[in-house]
Structure 1
Amino acid sequence: MHKAILRTFILVAGVLSVGCMVRAQEDAALDAELKAIAAQHEGKVALFAQNLKTGQTVSLDADVAVKTASTIKMGILLDAAEQIRAGKAKLEEKLVLEHANQVEGSGVLAQLDTPLAVTLKDVLTLMVILSDNTATNMAIDRLGLDQINRTLKAAGLKQTYLYKKVYMPATGPMPADQPKFGLGKTTAREMAGVMRRFAECRLGLDSPAALPGDGPICGTILHMLRNQQDRDDIPRYLESLDTSEHGSAIANKTGALDEVRNDVALIATKNGPVVMAVFTYDNKDQRWTGDNGAQQMIGKLAEMVVKKWSPAGLDAGSFSWEDPLRGRE
């Protein structure tokens, strides 16, 4: 009897070992294909992706510090979630838009008459779905710049930092590298880690235990990200449905400067949820059109990862968007 159990154990171990070897070979091959695509890009690329079901990862310069552009708004969302969880902020609380916070760039709040009362939820929603810079400044004022950075540090992010409000000069003592990075800095691995926190609903940086309200908080944040309007980067070649009617399988936040195109996403696939962060910089193509070369390349990289890890494609219904904790019960 013991010999039979031993033989079974050896057989299972052998199958698992072969499976691990095959997966490692597939991951190495995928790494090589991604590098080949990135090598054709006239600029620099940093990437990190992970399948949260299988544990598979791929990376390209994933720990190199890069300009965030608007992807740093993911860090603001994380702090907002933490403060709401702790009772220090409420989604329904009213904030007043003042003219002093209205800045140029993306969004709609800069075009509206002031003073204007909006909720914190409205501000965060506009900050995400339209990347509204004025809404971002309102969120920073409400949450606190220093507090946001304390949250990022508490989350274990060593190279992610929000330096200032959008389109406003840095104030007070600044890290020496602020002029290099502008609004914020991060790495592909760390920003993918922020998205993973929302996907797994790992809030409560001071205690790992989930609270009853955590799931709905994460669901609210993911709803914003899932309705993000810029679909020209990671979703470009992955999703062809009208997501306004059918619901997207991708929650993402983009960021762009003349020489920068970035995207951070949670992708619901038929083979598990995938978090992905792609940052491009020093880009030769600086056109603000859907034909921008960096955006096309980000789309190709995302398409390749998803095809390798989930040949059957996406499945929006496979992820518990409204409450990620409920999906793990």
Structure 2
Amino acid sequence: MSLKAELDLIIAAYKEPISICMYHTNELFYSHLDHEQLPAASVIKLAILATQLNRQEDLDQVIDVSNTPQVGGAGVLQLLDQPEWTIKDLLKLMITVSDNYAANVMIDHLSMATINQWLAQNNYQETQLQRRLMDTAAVKDGRENVISAADALRLFRYLLKTFPQTRNWFLNQQFRGKLPLTMDETATDVQIYNKTGEGPFVDHDVARFSKNGQSIDVAVLTDGFTDRLAVISMMAEIGQLIYRAL
């Protein structure tokens, strides 16, 4: 059975929407609801990262993080006493440990307007930053960060191609329990670069699988799954299918 047919079977087993965009090298290989806007969760950090790196600012510039209110959730910055950090280290934290506080510091440094302007200018029409991370009051007011699988994958591929320093950040990203779940630390013949996102009934993963000189890039976005074990199992199965297809 082909990879496309197996993906169709996986999707058919669930009534909840699953958005998928997949490229084999530079060709669109598979898509399903890939332009549907969903809550972005931490995948919005790809937009923050792309905007910052495009400014060609000195990444060794120091920022006083105490000017941004601390938030919880993923990350370690909230637990550390050091008040000043370089932009580069904040970006690394934002990607490798999905640090929400670091992301909010970067949003304040850039401004939401600047990030949304960059997205609009570069034709990311299905992605919008409308609140800081962990801002539950904004969510209650109806302001949500949104993204599509197509936009998420295009952002991810753009970052890997244009800014080589990010490859090591995505390769060493610490949240590996979705697409790479069954092969992380066990399959030595594949490199997996990824960035996850999660929230209430939301689970996403955007990844590159590289093996034998070939690569498959994929974004899998979900919303509305009440059974989180089911969605994680589904993503792990997709990861295995990709691994076997390479």
The TM-score with structure 1 as length reference comes to 0.68
Equivalent residue for 1:108, pick from 67, 76, 79: 76
**Aligned-partner Cα distance in 1 for 2:121–2:210:** 28
Contact 2:42–2:196 under 8 Å retained in 1? yes
| SS of corresponding position for 2:164 | helix
Higher strand share: 2
Q: Report what 1:123 is aligned to.
A: 90
Residue in structure 1 matched with residue 43 of structure 2 by the alignment: 71
C-alpha distance in structure 2 between counterparts of 1:133 and 1:241, whole Å: 29
| Match in the other structure for 1:295 | 232
1:105/1:305 CA distance change after superposition, 3 Å = same
Residue 108 (structure 1) shift: 1.1
Residue of 62, 85, 98 corresponding to 2:34: 62
Aligned partner of 1:196 in structure 2 is: 157
Taking the aligned partners of 1:235 and 1:196, their CA distance within structure 2 comes to 17
**1-side partners of 2:152 and 2:197: how far apart?**
12
State the Cα distance separating 1:296 from its structure 2 match: 1.6
Say whether the 8 Å CA contact 1:73–1:127 is kept in structure 2: yes
**Which secondary structure state, in structure 2, belongs to the residue aligned with residue 162 of structure 1?**
coil
Do residues 233 (structure 1) and 178 (structure 2) align?
yes
The answer on 1:281 being equivalent to 2:223 is: yes
In 2, Cα distance between equivalents of 1:241 and 1:263? 19
- 1:142 has 2:113 as partner: no
Instruction: List alignment gaps of at least 5 residues for structure 1.
Output: 1-25, 172-177, 202-217, 287-291, 311-329
Q: Does 1:31 align with 2:4?
A: yes
* Residues in 2 aligned to 1:31 and 1:241: alpha-carbon distance in whole angstroms: 25
Q: Are 2:160 and 2:166, in contact at CA under 8 Å, matched by a contact in 1?
A: no
| Contact kept? 1:266, 1:275, Cα under 8 Å | yes
**Partner residue, 1:161:** 128
Output the amino acid matched with 1:197: Y
Q: Displacement, 1:153?
A: 1.4
CA distance, structure 2, for counterparts of residue 279 and residue 120 of structure 1: 28
Give the alignment partner of residue 193 of structure 2, picking from 230, 246, 251. Answer: 251
Return the letter of the residue paired with 2:81. Answer: D
Which of 6, 25, 40 aligns to 2:13? It is 40
Q: CA deviation at 1:38?
A: 2.1
TM-score, L = length of structure 2: 0.90
Partners of 2:63 and 2:123 in 1: how far apart? 30
Shift of 1:191: 0.9
Query: Are the aligned partners of 1:30 and 1:58 in contact in 2 as well (CA < 8 Å)?
Result: no
Structure 2 match to 1:223: 168
Q: CA deviation at 1:232?
A: 0.7
Higher RCO (CA-CA < 8 Å; seq separation 6+):
2
Cα distance change of structure 1 residues 113 and 198 upon mapping to structure 2, 3 Å threshold: closer
CA contact (8 A) 2:179 2:239 kept: yes
Q: Does 1:50 align with 2:18?
A: no
- Report the counterpart of residue 315 of structure 1 in structure 2: none
- Quote the offset at 1:32 in angstroms: 2.9
Please list the CA deviations of residues 262-282 of structure 1 after superposition, one character each: whole Å capped at 9, or x if unmatched.
011122122522221000110
Cα distance, 1:256 vs structure 2:
0.3
Of 127, 143, 147 in structure 2, the residue corresponding to residue 186 of structure 1 is 147
Larger Rg: 1
Separation in structure 2 between the aligned mates of residue 135 and residue 123 of structure 1, nearest angstrom? 5
Distance 1:76 1:109 in 2: 17
Q: How far has the Cα of 1:140 moved from its partner? A: 0.7
Does the 8 Å contact 1:77/1:221 carry over to 2?
Answer: no
C-alpha displacement at 1:67, in angstroms? 1.2
Q: Residues 247-303 of structure 1: CA distance to partner in whole angstroms, max 9, x if unpaired?
A: 9711111000120110111221225222210001101114xxxxx221121111122
State the Cα distance separating 1:199 from its structure 2 match: 3.1
CA distance in 2, matches of 1:113, 1:56: 45
2:171 counterpart letter in structure 1: R
Match for residue 93 of structure 1 among 61, 64, 72: 61
